[in-house]
């Protein structure tokens, strides 16, 4: 079983926005991956971007640069 760690979790209002985030981050070498939205969080979309918390500013800048609408950001132990 994988050890739980503090992670940055970014939620989206639409699945399209989540897919755009994945596409943008993979193309630009930004760490993270799409995950099912954790149960502790309510979100319109069932997907969330999960990344190390130390890259939060990079992820937020990527969303801004890619014109990707985020719903919320969280730091959770998952």
Domains and CATH numbers, the chain: 6-77 (3.30.70)
DSSP 78: -
Entry pTM: 0.93
Q: Are 40 and 7 a contacting pair, CB within 8 Å?
A: no
pLDDT for the residue 32 = 98
pLDDT for the residue 33 = 98
Q: pLDDT tens digits for 21-63?
A: 999 999 999 999 999 999 989 767 899 999 999 999 999 999 9
Q: Cα–Cα distance between 57 and 71 in angstroms, integer?
A: 16
Q: Are 31 and 41 a contacting pair, CB within 8 Å?
A: no
pLDDT for the residue 1 = 79
């Amino acid at each position: 079983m994988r050890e739980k760690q503090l992670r940055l979790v970014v939620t989206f209002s639409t699945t399209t926005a989540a897919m755009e985030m994945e596409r943008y981050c993979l193309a630009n070498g930004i760490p993270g991956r799409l995950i099912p939205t954790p149960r502790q969080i309510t979100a319109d979309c069932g997907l969330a971007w999960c990344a190390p918390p130390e890259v939060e500013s990079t992820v937020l800048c990527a969303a801004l640069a890619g014109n990707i609408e985020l719903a919320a950001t969280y730091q959770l132990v998952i």
